[in-house]
Structure 1
Amino acid sequence: MPRKANITTQDLTDRALEHFWGNGFHASSMDDLVKSTGATRHAIYGAFGGKKQMFLACFQRYQDLVVSPAFIQVEQADATLEQVAGYFETQISRAEEIGLPGPGCLVANSATEVAPHDGEVLAKVEEHNTRLQQGFLNALQNEKPNASDGELRMLADMLVVFTNGLWSTSRLTKDGDFLRASAKQFLETLKTRISAP
Structure 2
Amino acid sequence: MPWEKSFDEDEAVGKAMCVFWEKGFEPASMADLIAGTGITRGSLYNAFGGKEQLFVKALLKYDKDKRRAMLAELEAMDDPQRAIAALFDGLVEETVADTEKKGCFLVNTASELTTHGEEVNRIVRNGLRELEAFLRRSVEVGQARKQFPLTLDPEATAKGLLAMIAAIRVLGRGVFDESSLKTIAAQAQRLLR
Does TM, scored on the shorter chain, surpass 0.5?
yes
Question: Root-mean-square deviation (CA), in Å?
Answer: 2.3
CA distance in 1, matches of 2:117, 2:134: 26
TM-score relative to the length of structure 1: 0.83
Percentage of matched positions with identical amino acids: 24
Aligned-pair CA distance for 1:23: 0.2
Structure 1 unpaired stretches of 5+: 193-197
Superposed displacement of residue 133, structure 1? 0.9
Cα distance in 2 between the residues matched to 1:26 and 1:58: 14
My pick for the range that moved more, 51-60 or 83-92, is 83-92
Q: Is 1:128 aligned with 2:130? A: no
Tell me the distance in 2 between the aligned counterparts of 1:170 and 1:155: 22
- Local SS of the residue matching 2:141: helix
Equivalent AA in structure 2 for residue 92 of structure 1: V
Aligned-pair CA distance for 1:10: 0.9
Cα gap change, 1:73 to 1:57, in 2 (>3 Å): same
AA aligned to 1:13 is V
Pairwise mapping of residues 110-125 of structure 1 onto structure 2 (< 5 A)?
Answer: 110-115=109-114, 118-125=117-124
* Count of residue pairs brought into register by the alignment: 185
Check whether the contact 1:24–1:109 (CA below 8 A) recurs between aligned residues: yes
Deviation of 1:13 after TM superposition, in Å, equals 0.7
Letter in 2 for 1:180: K
Q: How does 1:1-197 map to 2 (within 5 A)?
A: 6-76=6-76, 78-99=78-99, 102-115=101-114, 118-145=117-144, 147=150, 151-173=153-175, 175-188=177-190, 190-192=191-193
Deviations 1:64-101 (A, max 9, x none): 3322343323333823132112012223222333316x
Question: Compared with structure 1, are the counterparts of its residues 88 and 69 closer, same or farther at alpha carbon in structure 2 (3 Å cutoff)?
Answer: farther
